Structure 1
Amino acid sequence: MAELWIGNVAEDTSDDEIREFLVKYGFPPFDEIERFAGTGSRPAVVLNFHGATADALRSLHMRVHNMFWKDRTIVVQVLPERDES
């Protein structure tokens, strides 16, 4: 399982809008989404991709990193794989 962090996402952005945006740029559809309010000015989401590797996401993330989307510049990072043992 791989995880993608997207920061500075507009609060009113729906899960479907995030999915459509990423698929448009070649990402597979994510399986789960977790939202983080932060301080309120820069909300973030963490997306879980059960069928993708971190390397696969790394090959795609620069397509959208620092992109201006919905009146904000988003920051995108692939999270390190967690040891769940």
Structure 2
Amino acid sequence: MNKVRPRMTHLFEQLGLDASEQGIAKFIEEHQLHKDFNLMDAPYWSDAQRQFLAEKIASDGEWAIVVDQLNESLHEDATRDAQASL
């Protein structure tokens, strides 16, 4: 059996979001989070999206890695700002 590893495009498809390269980049750019803000607490997730993300993080499998990548991407501005202030 050929198992496909989850990717960011798969995650966006599962979340019902635009999974094109441009759609993912736009979402990440427009939804940056403060460094202290938890991904799961972001106001733009629906209950179903929040539940999906929580399940994937809890699974600690390949999906958790992709969700973590999304989390890091959504905190890029905060990370960059923190590094600039050093």
Please state which structure has a larger fraction of its residues in strand.
1
Please state which structure has a larger fraction of its residues in helix.
2
Q: Same fold (TM over 0.5)?
A: no
TM-score, length of structure 1 as denominator length? 0.30
